[in-house]
Structures are given as C-alpha cells and as structure tokens.
C-alpha cells in the first residue's frame, strides 16, 4: 500500500492535466495570485516553482523577479505550462530535484507538497535554496462549507456497486499517503524545522473566489477525475437528478445576483534557510 503513492499520483495528474487547465486553473487563480502577493518576491530573486502544474504561480511571479523556473513531474502539465508561457519549464521530481544546490533565492510550492513524502521533498527544497533563501508554500486547510455540500450531495447519488475502474479509484483515494500523517499545520512546521528551516511562520487564510453562478463551481469540482468518474458511473436518470440537486443546493447559497462566493481554508507557510 505504501509503495507506489508517487506512481498513482503521477498517473492521476497526467489524466487531470487538460481539465485542470480548462476548469481548475481559473478557479485557483485568485488563490494563487494572493499567495504570490504574500510571498514578498523581490526584483532580484531567482525563484523556483515546485509542482507548477499549468504554471500559474510561475507566470504570476515572472514579471516580479529576475528569474523564474517552473518544475512538475507530469509531462502533460509541463507541456501545458510551457504552452501558456510559464518561464523555464522542466520536468522533475520534488523528491530528488535535478538541480545543483543553493541555486535559488525563493522556492514556491502551491498545493504541491501534499502529493509528496515531505520527509524527502522538504530537504530537497532546502537544498535548492541559497543560505538565507525563503520557502513559501500554500496547502489546503480544513474543508469549507461549499466543498462539503458538493461532496455530500455527490455521495447521496454515488453507485453502490462500482465497476473495477471506479472501485480502484475509490481505493486509491483513501490509500496511504505520507502527507496524511500531518494532523495540524504545526506538524508541517515541525517537518520544515527537521529539514533545517528556521523562522517558520504559519498563516491561515480564507481568500474569496467568485463564480458567476453555482454551475461554474460545480464544473470546477467535477473537473477532478475522481469526481468525474463518480458522475459518469451513474445511470443517466440518476446523473440528471444528481446534477440538478447539486445546482439547487449550491444555488441556495449564492448571492441575490446569482454569484457564488467560495472561501476555501488555506494554510500558508513561510520559512527561511539559515544564513
């Protein structure tokens, strides 16, 4: 069970890349933009964006810094990132960076460490930084109201007798992952300190993402392959009911204008490599 979380996640992100680019990146834009603002980048900085995905943080950082490089282990993500003009995109694994030591002033990582074994990936981020260099990372905090409502509604309609593909996806979703051993953001700080970082600061934030209507939020959530597979496995009439229930439940929380405001809980962690 422990062995191949990396291979499983790589296959998952390869599968997700196109829908990530179309529906997930636009939803993440405000979350990543405000994170890059908070990272305090300086014009002279050389920045490395780990787990860059479609290159969002790297693209936002590029006009603010001297040099930005963007790395992902997924070939499809890297191709999309380069196609969207992310700077210096290359393929590599956060567990063993294909880079010389002490080459960067800042390492960014948005929703990326949670896919890795932090006991191996955090020392690599440390190694990539020059003495005095800074790490800025952003991860999910506790679940938010809209996400819980969406997943609860989906679960009410989920098929009880999944075929082999869906059964394997469900098993993979709950399989062992090293990140799950972190129970609180203090555990993240402890692991960073074990890797050598100091001045670790934790900031819990709830930035807003405004969707024009509930349907846009649903489209973003269903762009993740594990949810899409759940919906596609439903018989047609059950799927129609599920989608209409999702729309009704989420529209009930929309503003009078019809706009839906999503406020995910995020944990931002800033740390420094000693001088």
Ligand X SMILES: C[S@@+](CC[C@H](N)C(=O)[O-])C[C@H]1O[C@@H](n2cnc3c(N)ncnc32)[C@H](O)[C@@H]1O
Residues 11-30, one symbol each (x = binds ligand X by CB under 6 A, - = not), give: --x-----------x--x--
Q: Does 41 bind ligand X (CB under 6 A)?
A: no
Query: According to CB under 6 A, which one of 60, 61, 73, 266 is a site residue for ligand X?
Result: 73
| Contacts of 272 by beta carbon, 8 Å cutoff, 6+ apart | 132, 133, 134, 135, 197, 198, 199
Q: Does 269 bind ligand X (CB under 6 A)?
A: no
Strand 198-205 versus strand 266-272 pairing type: antiparallel
**Which tokens hold the place of 71?**
């790395």
For residue 68, list its beta bridge partners: 47
Q: Please report how close the Cβ of residue 225 comes to ligand X at its closest, in angstroms.
A: 12
Q: Please report how close the Cβ of residue 34 comes to ligand X at its closest, in angstroms.
A: 12
Contact 52, 89 (CB under 8 A): yes
Phi and psi of 55, rounded to 5°? Answer: 90, 15
Only one of the segments 46-54, 194-202, 217-225, 237-245 lies at the binding site for ligand X (rule: CB under 6 A); that segment is 46-54
Only one of the segments 71-79, 142-150, 173-181, 202-210 lies at the binding site for ligand X (rule: CB under 6 A); that segment is 71-79
| Residue with nearest beta carbon to ligand X | 53
Helix pair 5-19, 75-83: axis angle to 10 deg: 30
Q: Does 153 bind ligand X (CB under 6 A)?
A: no
Nearer to ligand X, 17 or 146 (CB): 17
Q: Does 94 bind ligand X (CB under 6 A)?
A: yes
Q: Does 192 bind ligand X (CB under 6 A)?
A: no
Q: Does 128 bind ligand X (CB under 6 A)?
A: no
Residue 48's SS3 state is: strand
Nearer to ligand X, 78 or 243 (CB): 78
Q: Please report how close the Cβ of residue 98 comes to ligand X at its closest, in angstroms.
A: 11
Helices (H), strands (E): how many in the chain? 11, 9
Q: Does 72 bind ligand X (CB under 6 A)?
A: yes
Q: Does 110 bind ligand X (CB under 6 A)?
A: yes
Listed as own residue / partner, the contacts of 81-90 with beta carbons closer than 8 Å and 24 or more positions apart are: 81/52, 81/53, 81/54, 81/55, 82/55, 84/21, 84/54, 84/55, 84/59, 85/55, 85/59, 86/49, 86/52, 86/54, 86/55, 86/58, 86/59, 86/62, 87/58, 87/59, 87/62, 89/52, 89/55, 89/58
Only one of the segments 89-97, 98-106, 176-184, 244-252 lies at the binding site for ligand X (rule: CB under 6 A); that segment is 89-97
Q: Does 5 bind ligand X (CB under 6 A)?
A: no
Q: Does 182 bind ligand X (CB under 6 A)?
A: no
Contact 247, 221 (CB under 8 A): no
Q: Please report how close the Cβ of residue 51 comes to ligand X at its closest, in angstroms.
A: 3
Q: Please report how close the Cβ of residue 240 comes to ligand X at its closest, in angstroms.
A: 30
Query: What's the rounded Cα separation, in Å, for the pair 124 and 99?
Result: 10
Report the interface residues with ligand X, using CB under 6 A.
Answer: 9, 13, 25, 28, 32, 51-53, 56-57, 72-74, 77, 93-95, 110-112, 115-116
């Amino acid at each position: 069970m422990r062995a191949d979380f990396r291979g499983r996640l790589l296959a998952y992100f390869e599968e997700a890349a196109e829908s990530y680019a179309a529906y997930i990146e636009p939803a993440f834009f405000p979350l990543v933009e405000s994170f890059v603002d908070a990272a305090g980048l300086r014009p002279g900085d050389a920045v490395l964006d780990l787990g860059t995905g479609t290159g969002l943080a790297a693209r936002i950082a590029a006009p603010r810094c001297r040099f930005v490089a963007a790395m992902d282990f997924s070939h499809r993500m890297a191709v999309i990132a380069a196609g969207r003009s992310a700077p210096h995109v290359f393929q590599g694994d956060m567990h063993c960076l294909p880079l010389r030591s002490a080459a960067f002033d800042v390492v960014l990582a948005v929703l990326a460490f949670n896919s890795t074994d932090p006991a191996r990936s955090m020392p690599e981020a440390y190694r990539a930084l020059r003495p005095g260099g800074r790490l800025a990372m952003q991860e999910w905090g506790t679940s938010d109201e809209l996400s819980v409502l969406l997943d609860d509604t989906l679960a009410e309609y989920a098929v009880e007798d999944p075929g082999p593909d869906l059964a394997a996806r469900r098993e993979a979703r709950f399989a062992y992952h090293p990140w799950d051993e972190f129970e609180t953001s203090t555990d993240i700080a402890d692991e960073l300190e074990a890797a050598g970082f100091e001045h670790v600061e934790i900031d819990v934030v709830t930035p807003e993402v405004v969707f024009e209507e509930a349907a846009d939020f649903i489209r973003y959530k269903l762009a993740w392959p594990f949810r899409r597979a759940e919906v596609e496995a439903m018989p047609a009439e059950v799927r129609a009911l599920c989608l209409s229930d999702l729309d009704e439940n989420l529209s009930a929380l929309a503003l009078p204008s019809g706009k839906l405001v999503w406020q995910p809980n995020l944990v931002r962690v800033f740390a420094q490599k000693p001088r």
